[in-house]
Structure 1
């Protein structure tokens, strides 16, 4: 039984708490948060204790920690937890600074403790099936990857100001998905971004609509499209064209009913946001982490993977700011 300390009792921390408690091989022992009341409430829901972060990290009875705190704390907490002998699952991104993330990678690797980064989309059943089909050679050699990721509505501008920007905060999921599906990192990145959804986002120094082109050493191409606004729901699609066919992972809809009348054919909208869309992926992600720690299985999304995605995000940010293609 893996005994877990949860750092962070916000929205994503609550999602992880459910999966920790539901897994027969893990138990939620303690919860910490800068908001003591939030930590106490979440701990009470699952029969855990609310403790200070330092108390969780220093407790030898706790085997692993799940880091669901604000991004600016991730690197420091990964370093402290691994130094204390804990296995770690940390939400993305590793850090807002690539240099800081690389330093964290070096420090964590020196401890030998497993660290997994929470790119949960790799564990989505649809995307995982696409990856398996591509690996099996079902469409020959992959040539062109297209990823669409549109949020239903933009977050508050107050969040935008501390998020690190669309490329590090939102599109980083898609950079990791591209690395995952293509089995390689790109050699060049070209990005275009604008703030047409909400001018206040632009005034805060960020973009809300962006397209990135990824170029690979063997000539393959990836295209990622992001928008902070899709009024019809959470649009999450991936398409992979190969030399012998096409793989497509479509949206998960609110229901599977199709209406066909004289007026036309219609279906339900995509699920509204990430909690509904990726709940199964979060559970599968947690099971993969438990297996990595208890069964000594490979960590499926390593800290190095997290740094690799951030490296692409940094390049995209520079490209969007300068208008130039950035080599990696």
Structure 2
């Protein structure tokens, strides 16, 4: 039984706590948070003690930590936890700064502890099936990938100001998906973005609507579309054209009923409204994959290097949007 401590008791921490507690191979034994009330509330739900970070790291009976704290703490906590002999699953992204993430990779290399980055969408059953079909060669060589990711409503401007921007906070998932499906990071990134949903987001220096093109050295292309507002629900779709066919993974709908009438035509339900509903199964599968990797001694399904590749794409997209030029993703940006 793997004994696990949770660092961070906010919304995403609560999601992870459920997955840890429900898995037969793991036991949630402690929680900590910079906001004591949040930690106390989550501790009460799961019947676990609130402990300080130092106590958790010093406890040799704790095998692993799940980091669900604010992004600016991720690299520090990864380093501290692995130095203390803990396995780590850390929420995305690795850091707000690519330079800091690369330093984290260098500093943890000698610690010998497994690190997994929490890109949960890889574990969505629909996207995982698409990836399996790609790997099985069912559509030949992947050539053109299109990713649509629209949130139902924008976050508060107060959150936007500390999020690192749309490319690091929201599109980071799509960058990871593109690198995962295409088998590696692109050679260059071209981004355009604007603030058409909420003027306050633009005033805070960010965008709420963006399109990014990723180009690989062998000519393959991916296009990512993001918007902070889709009033009809949480819109999450993938389409991959290959040399021998097409793969598509569509939205998960509120129900499967489809109505066809003479008066109204064909109608179906809307997409599920938010990420918690859409990806709960993915979070559970993500945790199960982490536990399996620890127990088997196998390779982590999402590595620190994968996290850095997605962050490098986000960095390049940020630079491209402000400069109006395509930006190369260099080996140095990938830690190579």
**Is the shorter-chain TM-score for this pair beyond 0.5, marking a shared fold?**
yes
Aligned residue for 2:334?
none
Partner Cα separation in structure 2 for residue 202 and residue 70 of structure 1: 22
List aligned pairs for 1:171-250, cutoff 5 A: 171-250=171-250
User: Tell me, which stretches of 5 or more residues in structure 1 are unaligned?
Assistant: none
Aligned residue for 1:102?
102
Deviation at 1:109, TM superposition (A): 1.5
Deviation at 1:135, TM superposition (A): 0.9
Is the aligned partner of 1:288 residue 2:292? no
Partner Cα separation in structure 2 for residue 139 and residue 292 of structure 1: 29
Deviation at 1:293, TM superposition (A): 1.1
Aligned residue for 1:273?
274
- Secondary structure in structure 2 of the residue aligned to 1:107: helix
Is the aligned partner of 1:42 residue 2:42? yes
Aligned residue for 2:306?
305
Partner Cα separation in structure 2 for residue 109 and residue 299 of structure 1: 14
List aligned pairs for 1:1-328, cutoff 5 A: 1-262=1-262, 263-328=264-329
C-alpha deviations, 1:70-118, integer Å up to 9, x for none? 0010000000000000000000000000000000011112101000000
| TM-score, normalization by structure 1 | 0.99
Number of residue pairs matched by the alignment:
328
Select between 249-258 and 294-303 the one with higher mean Cα deviation: 294-303
Partner Cα separation in structure 2 for residue 16 and residue 190 of structure 1: 34
Partner Cα separation in structure 2 for residue 300 and residue 76 of structure 1: 22
- What stretches of structure 1 move > 6 A for 4+ residues in a row? none
- Secondary structure in structure 2 of the residue aligned to 1:110: coil
Partner Cα separation in structure 1 for residue 289 and residue 205 of structure 2: 37
Pairwise CA RMSD of aligned residues?
A: 0.6
User: Tell me, which stretches of 5 or more residues in structure 2 are unaligned?
Assistant: 330-336
